[in-house]
Chains A and B, each alone.
Chain A
């Protein structure tokens, strides 16, 4: 069943699982999507200029021939707290995208990416003591399954050979399936089980510009205007908030032979989600910035295998106990051209260090990523 579920997940766009009791999966979850494998390898530094990353719709102008892209990102997480540790494995499918050209100037693309992943589980064991003096051993589990996904329909228009603009509409949708269970060792107790399904809908719009002022310099700028986001249970609206705004700017410089340098900065207004959350969950605004370098590696079979290095630092959306959580990533990757360069498989490996000012708690993860860009 687990395998089947995993297979089902493999067939969906963006879903993931992570262990709770972590720094990264607080609140409505971990922002796992938004970057292609290529961009992840470069620390997200090409996000504003990358047609595969659903950030700047103007970047779609460089998509090229019609194609399809999907990505798989397993994460191996290690959490250490109070002398004990958890090692968990998470399977993520954070991005699915496709685009085609409508005439020589217009490119239209659709994508789905994980906006916030809220799939995790905790298990604990303890003794319940009762007023009548007896007690019983119990095992308790809290889990949520699901994510809010960002489905984007975008179009870019090539105004000039060196300038493109783009707009996109986003629909944020998804579900969290929340489950609590407690089983007692004493058979005179029934199993406690409580399930809820929380659904989300929301929308927003993005506008962006991609400009190449020099043949070796690319600049991208984009921003999101958040619409309304609602949380439902069954047919009852539980809460509403604004979709977080975002603003980003990035640049890629290819002026050095065999080397490409990039940098990027994004601001996320996550605090707009606070109206959606229970009081214990608090989202904070924060910056996400990255640096990257791509070098031309020795060729193999007549193909070039670009090697990529990246650094990324960001503030995760949800605080833990009113303390902000920071993530610092170091990444390495390469691209493998396939079908004489028409298609491509990208690989990356990222070391993510998450920290907060919480005593005796640390979290580290290895994130592998494989992106498959197929163009007939």
Chain B
């Protein structure tokens, strides 16, 4: 009986102990009595719009993008519209080292050279823009080799226009996608293989058939790649069936690839395939700057924001760049392309804007959102520079003004492969309302809680 009473007396004690220990889980959410009991808890939120020279101190058009030899897609195009051949583009494929000898199992035996060639062709994979192809296509392959410096594309340009075809291939519209094999003149190939001289081939394009007018364009993958799964190599290849001299016991199909660099960069690399725009987009109107087109351009824009906003403890929570776009009816199409802001990571010592426009942050690192629209529209483009997912100002502040230019580059998603361009008004626009604007929302450092 006494034990029972003792247990009863212990129950409240036990409950109190459990309640006490259970309170280890805090719940801090409060604020019902604010603002009455919350002095010093008001943030100052400022909102302002900067215009033209208050935003940019330098706006430079950078032409010839992507740089020669760094293309990821070689555009072969011919626009035969009401304006005639308004856009003409070809691909230059360079085979500077050709296989001339048969491989031998016995490495001590002398080489057996190629003596004759019975078949030769150029193989490449085309990615067509079928929306532009009204009828069928004819690929022509020409010899564009010339004894000129590497960057003398003017001579190559002439050869594209004047040289006869070494071979051609007619392709129906529904067969444009895929692998194409253009037969080549075997005499030409044999001559170069046996003498050990390089071959440089140009690929140009024509429409043919009952409706031969219209625009046509395809993209050729410029680089050799090897499938990890199958080991299969892809990329433009020069192939020929070669035979040794009598006794003609050796016959083999030799496959030659261009050795191109795999990704973009500012320098022209030896042996790189490249795209050559033979006839490009017409000049842009005087009061706008084009982004995109052929050859493509980028717009380099350097900011001149007050240091008090960027380098102080002020936090910019919103920075929205408003650009006014003039509709460009040239090459009008119904689909949209993107205007992409890219962050320049070049330091201020890079004074050559054409180089700075190539030194860009990876879009995954600073994922500024692109704006997708049709360049034919007249509209206001809104580019978000500070958002929940990407904060350009935080990056600038972290890097400081001496390590990183405070600039962006505007780039078209159709760069190098779409003739359309965005026509953007800049600080030089005669109409004030069309000049760029930067909408800023910022919060100065709060003295909350500090003496």
Contacts and interface: CB of A to CB of B under 8 A. Distances in A.
Interface stretch (A55-63, A108-116, A152-160, A192-200): A192-200
B65 to A, nearest CB: 28
Nearest to A276: B451
B451 A238 contact: yes
A357 interface: no
Interface string A47-69: 00000000000000000000000
Contact of A17 (B6, B26, B40): B26
A127 B9 CA distance: 55
A178 B449 CA distance: 7
Contact of A23 (B37, B49, B447): B37
Interface residues of A, number: 80
A285 interface: no
B398 interface: no
A189 B39 contact: no
B28 A19 contact: yes
Contacts of B337: none
A90 B34 CA distance: 19
Nearest to B320: A188
A86 B33 contact: yes
A140 B443 CA distance: 13
A87 B37 CA distance: 16
B36 A82 contact: yes
A238 B450 CA distance: 8
B28 A280 contact: no
A297 to B, nearest CB: 10
Contact of B25 (A72, A84, A89): A89
A210 to B, nearest CB: 31
Nearest to A282: B39
B206 to A, nearest CB: 48
Contact of B450 (A79, A87, A128, A198): A198
A321 B37 CA distance: 8
A123 B29 contact: yes
B445 interface: yes
A1 B32 CA distance: 26
Interface string A274-312: 001110110000000000000000001100000000000
B38 interface: yes
A20 B43 CA distance: 16
A320 B9 CA distance: 43
| Majority secondary structure of chain A interface residues (helix, strand, loop or mixed) | strand
B316 interface: yes
Contacts of B445: 194
Contacts of B16: 347, 349, 368
A328 to B, nearest CB: 18
Interface stretch (B157-165, B272-280, B385-393): B385-393
Nearest to B441: A130
Given A140-B43, A184-B317, A86 B388 contact: no
Contact of A190 (B20, B29, B388): B388
A165 to B, nearest CB: 36
A337 interface: no
B341 to A, nearest CB: 14
B6 A90 contact: no
A191 interface: yes
A123 B34 CA distance: 9
A180 interface: yes
Contacts of B387: 187-190
Interface residues on B, range: 35 or more
A6 B394 CA distance: 32
Contacts of A183: 388
Interface in B12-31: 13, 16-17, 19-20, 23-31
B36 A321 contact: yes
A30 interface: no
A216 interface: no
A89 B27 contact: yes
A21 B384 contact: no
| Majority secondary structure of chain B interface residues (helix, strand, loop or mixed) | loop
A88 interface: yes
Given A192-B43, A368-B20, A19 B315 contact: no
B35 to A, nearest CB: 9
A2 interface: yes
Interface string A120-163: 11111000101110000000101110000000000000000000
Contacts of B57: none
B245 interface: no
A122 B20 CA distance: 24
Contact of A196 (B25, B386, B449): B449
B28 A84 contact: no
Contact of A142 (B36, B41, B318, B386): B41
A74 B31 contact: no
A74 B25 CA distance: 10
Interface in A209-224: none
A85 to B, nearest CB: 6
Contact of A74 (B23, B34, B36, B391): B23
Nearest to A196: B450
Interface in B67-88: none
A336 interface: yes
Contact of B31 (A123, A184, A334, A370): A123
Given A21-B32, A79-B30, A180-B448, A358 B43 contact: no
Nearest to A281: B39
A37 to B, nearest CB: 10
B430 to A, nearest CB: 24
A19 B384 CA distance: 37
Given A132-B439, A189-B441, A82 B24 contact: no
Contact of B41 (A2, A74, A119, A122): A122
B47 interface: yes
A91 B23 contact: yes
Contacts of A21: 30-34, 36-38
Given A190-B318, A194-B446, A123 B30 contact: yes
A338 B444 CA distance: 57
A102 interface: no
A239 B451 contact: yes
Contacts of A87: 27
Given A122-B41, A370-B17, A88 B448 contact: no
B361 interface: no
A2 B49 CA distance: 42
B45 interface: yes
A182 interface: yes
A300 B15 CA distance: 18
A361 B37 contact: yes
Contacts of A142: 38, 41, 448
The 8 tightest CB contacts between A and B, nearest first, are: A19-B30, A74-B23, A81-B33, A122-B31, A239-B451, A21-B33, A178-B449, A84-B32
21 contacts: A18-B28, A19-B31, A20-B34, A21-B37, A86-B30, A88-B26, A88-B28, A89-B27, A91-B24, A123-B31, A128-B45, A140-B43, A190-B318, A192-B317, A278-B450, A281-B39, A347-B16, A358-B36, A358-B37, A368-B16, A368-B19
Given A88-B27, A301-B6, 7 more contacts: A72-B20, A87-B27, A88-B28, A91-B25, A122-B34, A180-B446, A198-B451
